[in-house]
Amino acid sequence: MRQGRPPLIIPPPLQPGDAVGIASPAGPSAPSLLRQGMALLKAWGYRPIVGRQSRRRKGYLAGSDRERAAELNDLFTDPEIKAVLCARGGYGTMRILDALDYEGIQRHPKIVMGFSDITALLCALHRHARLVTFHGPMVTGLPTLPVSVQNRVQAVLKGDFSLRIPLPKGSKVPSGKVAGRLIGGNLTLLSHLIGTPFEPPWEGAILFLEDCGEAPYRLDRLFQHLRLRGIWEMVSAVLLGSFTGPGGKGLPVSLIRSFFSDIPTPVWTGFPIGHGRRNLPVPFGVQALLNGNQGLLQVDSQP
């Protein structure tokens, strides 16, 4: 954390019977998938409440920019709502970042979870509300995830933010320990936030990345953008999650590693996040320890 910045705000855990707001800051959701996700939340003992835009559509967006921003602002200020989970990604979150009430969000901190296009929201809430959020599954995708991932989502909602993830063999992680705040998400969104008021603080971060549907040359361009920004020299380590090409075909790990062949930063492949079935919730902005001696990434339960 930069010197002089206010401390992070840790959102309170959910209690049985709490209301969970479902937001759509980007694209519209398929009604059947939304119903299935809501049914699972009910089975976990919560009361899902759909925001005003989660069943609407305006082209590739879930309503106008003003409507989607108002939905998020309302879900945060509503005292009945105790957490805000995103219905899905798609595209459009960047369009509403400058219309959010960050002071109001600070006054009403709540658990927020999403990934992919929602990366933009996580970065904005970190920079302007100092809120600990979660890069993780969204409501429409919850029912299809492995039980182990669903269990971790439930643990997060109950206030357990801890992580203990083994490092896979063959990663470029040296012996010793690397500490830093977990910052990251979708590579495309992070690249497009560079130069905006919502660009995340890179210095000393443990940077995690994922993306889907991008051809190798497009991934190369995105990684080169981060390189030219000087990010590889600023971060403490890089954790690479799931990367797929057009049509959802998995990209060779050797190709992904080739983009990092000439950088000094420790790089770990196989981080269990992204558009695949292994998409563990990761606390955004909290301090983590990457232990090369033990082969472990660790976050304490109290960030």
Nearest CA to 146 out of 280, 282, 37, 277 is that of 277
Report how far residue 174's alpha carbon sits from residue 10's, in angstroms, rounded to the nearest whole number. 31
Say if CB 287 and CB 180 are below 8 A apart. Answer: yes
Tell me the three state secondary structure of residue 296.
strand
Say if CB 267 and CB 241 are below 8 A apart. Answer: no
Report how far residue 141's alpha carbon sits from residue 88's, in angstroms, rounded to the nearest whole number. 8
Residue 116 appears among annotated catalytic residues: yes
Q: Which of 116, 171, 191, 236 is catalytic?
A: 116
Report how far residue 245's alpha carbon sits from residue 158's, in angstroms, rounded to the nearest whole number. 35
* Paired tokens of 264: 């000094």
The DSSP bridge partners found for residue 209 are 185, 240
- Output the CA torsion 158→184→247→145 (10° steps): -10
Q: SS3 string of 126-143?
A: HHHHCECEEECCCHHHHH
Q: How far apart are the first and last CA of the chain?
A: 13
Residue 71 appears among annotated catalytic residues: no
Half-sphere exposure of 105 (CA within 13 A, CB side): 29
Report how far residue 221's alpha carbon sits from residue 227's, in angstroms, rounded to the nearest whole number. 10
Residue 275 appears among annotated catalytic residues: yes
Q: Which of 210, 214, 236, 242 is catalytic?
A: 210
The DSSP bridge partners found for residue 179 are 289
Nearest CA to 285 out of 233, 175, 177, 208 is that of 208
Q: Which residues are catalytic?
A: 116, 210, 275
